[in-house]
Structures are given as C-alpha cells and as structure tokens.
Amino acid sequence: MNGSDSKSRILIQLDPDLQPSVFDSVVAVDAGADILLRHAGVTPEQVQNLVHGAIFTRGPEDLHNTAIFIGGSQVSQGEALLNAVVKSFFGPLRVSVMLDPNGSNTTAAAAVRVAAKECQLAGATSLILAGTGPVGRRAARLLAREGSAVRVGSRSVERAASVCQKIGQQLAGSTLSPHATETEEQTSAALDGVQVVIAAGAAGVRLLSADLLRASTGLQVAIDLNAVPPAGIDSIEVVDRAVGRHGISCYGAIGVGGIKMKIHKAALRRLFDDNQLVLDAEEIYSLASDMGL
C-alpha cells in the first residue's frame, strides 16, 4: 500500500431500509465522497464484517479517507447500527462515522442553530412541541446544552417526563420540565414565558394554533419542522426564513432546510479529516456552531 493508491474518499453508507437512501447518497457525492459503498437492509449483526472491511484494508495513515454514514428512515435502527459500528473498532483501527437517520441530527442541529441566531439561548426558556420524537429529543438536548431551560411538550406527559429524565442524567445542571400539550389550554400554559418554540411533530399534525402564536408576547422565534401541510404551527409557511409574524421571527421546514443541508455537507466533509470522529447530534451541532453556520 503506497500513499498514492489510497487517496479516494470512500463513504460506506449503512441503511436499514430495503432501498438505500438516494437523498443520503446525493448529499454525500456533493460533499466530496469519491466512492459510495451503499448497503441496504443492514442489521446490527452484519455490521462487524462491514466495519472490519473498512479498518483492515487501508493503512492507519490512510484510514481518514474511509468513513461510515448511517442513514435510512428509522432513527432507532440507525442508533442500533451506530452502537454496532463503534463496538467493531479495534483500538486505533477505526474510521469516522456520522449518524443522521431521517435527517434527525442535522435537522435538530439546524433548528437550534437558527434559534441561537435569533435569541440568546443561555438563560432563555424553550418549548419543544412533539418533543419526545427523534428530532424533538435531539433539539431538547442541544438547547439544554446551550443553557436554555427546556420544556418538553407531548400529548403524554409521562413520555415527556421520561425524555427530561434521560437528558437530565446526561447533562448535569440542566433544567428540563415535561408538559402536556394536547389541548389548547395546556399548550397555552406551556408557552407562557417562552422565547423559543420548535414544532417537531409528524407530518400533517397541527401542534400550535395561530391564536396562541399571536398571543405569545414573549416569543422571539418559532420554528416549524413539518414540511407537509397543514403546518405544525398555524400561519407559518414552509418557506418562511426569518419572516416576522406577530413580532415573532418565523421559520418553516424549507426555510431551515438550507442551513440543514450546509450542516449535513460540512459534517460529511469533516469525516474525512480524521479517522476518530463519531458525529452524533452534539458533535454535528458543535461543528455547525464552530463554522458559524
């Protein structure tokens, strides 16, 4: 193995779905991967052999030119693959890996970066609607890490409490509280005193009415991550990007999409700088923040 024969940047795409994601592949190509090794229907049991193929082929000084991306539509399956990948490394024989199933990490990072530009997060209070899903949980973690008090909203206050408890265990000194947000009254109460609201619900579920948005006097930024009508936050348009509505800076899913795509590509490029990285939500957020995205 001489240095010159192993310069191609190889990205191994691990996808639990039946068809590997075209989205993930196109972004990887545009971020500079020379060769994609795409794997669909990947199970945790299959991961070790695939990872060994990545770490036992190129010399240690060239391992930074090989990396792994874990995508697909199912976040929990992606997380299981990440665990299996990390367990398969052999000490220094490892390659960098990025986790972004269903865009969950890059979406959460983009939403919190947008919030950070509109509002001083340290000391602020934020509300995540549908905060127990993959994007919501990640956004809550990132906001808490930035020093915001975080309210996790959910139809089920028990699920919200469970999310708060887990994040609290990971982040000492953070302030998280669970809120039922099923009814208009509950959501109104949860919004009281909040500067940042992020709606992270499923496609087509209305989480916040136009009336409540208009009545939220202290609110500085409202971000709706739902791209499929009806909007998660009524009156926000999917293309809104810092559009002022009722004195609130509003963002829709496509409005956040530009920065999300930049973060996604920046994180992919970063993979090839080093063979030691594990890029999960926090690392992706930090990278975006460091780059001024």
Applying CB under 8 A, which residues contact a second copy? 1, 5-6, 8, 10, 12, 18-27, 29-32, 35-39, 41-42, 46, 49-54, 56-58, 66, 73, 261-262, 265
CB nearer to a second copy: pick between 142 and 293: 293
Q: How far apart are CA 94 and CA 72, in angstroms?
A: 22
Minimum distance, C-beta of residue 261 to a second copy, in the bound complex (Å): 6
CB nearer to a second copy: pick between 19 and 217: 19
Minimum distance, C-beta of residue 270 to a second copy, in the bound complex (Å): 15
CB nearer to a second copy: pick between 215 and 228: 228
Q: Which two tokens stand for residue 281?
A: 């939500």
Minimum distance, C-beta of residue 12 to a second copy, in the bound complex (Å): 6
CB nearer to a second copy: pick between 111 and 221: 111
CB nearer to a second copy: pick between 64 and 145: 64
CB nearer to a second copy: pick between 22 and 122: 22
Minimum distance, C-beta of residue 27 to a second copy, in the bound complex (Å): 6
Closest CA to 180 of 231, 108, 129, 125: 129
Minimum distance, C-beta of residue 94 to a second copy, in the bound complex (Å): 14
CB nearer to a second copy: pick between 49 and 169: 49
Minimum distance, C-beta of residue 228 to a second copy, in the bound complex (Å): 12
Minimum distance, C-beta of residue 6 to a second copy, in the bound complex (Å): 5
Assign 3-class secondary structure to the chain: CCHHHHCCCEEEEECCCCCCCHHHHHHHHHCCCCEEEEECCCCHHHHHHHHHHHHCCCCHHHHHHEEEEECCCCHHHHHHHHHHHHHHCECCECCEEEECHHHHHHHHHHHHHHHHHHCCCCCCEEEEECCCCHHHHHHHHHHHHCCCEEEEEECCHHHHHHHHHHHHHHCCCCCEEEEECCCHHHHHHHHCCCCEEEECCCCCCCCECHHHHHHCCCCCEEEECCCCCCCCECCCCCCCEEEEECCEEEECHHHHHHHHHHHHHHHHHHHCCCCCCEECHHHHHHHHHHCCC
Minimum distance, C-beta of residue 292 to a second copy, in the bound complex (Å): 16
Per the CB < 8 A criterion, the answer to whether 200 and 225 are in contact is yes
CB nearer to a second copy: pick between 38 and 151: 38
Give the amino acid at 79.
Answer: E
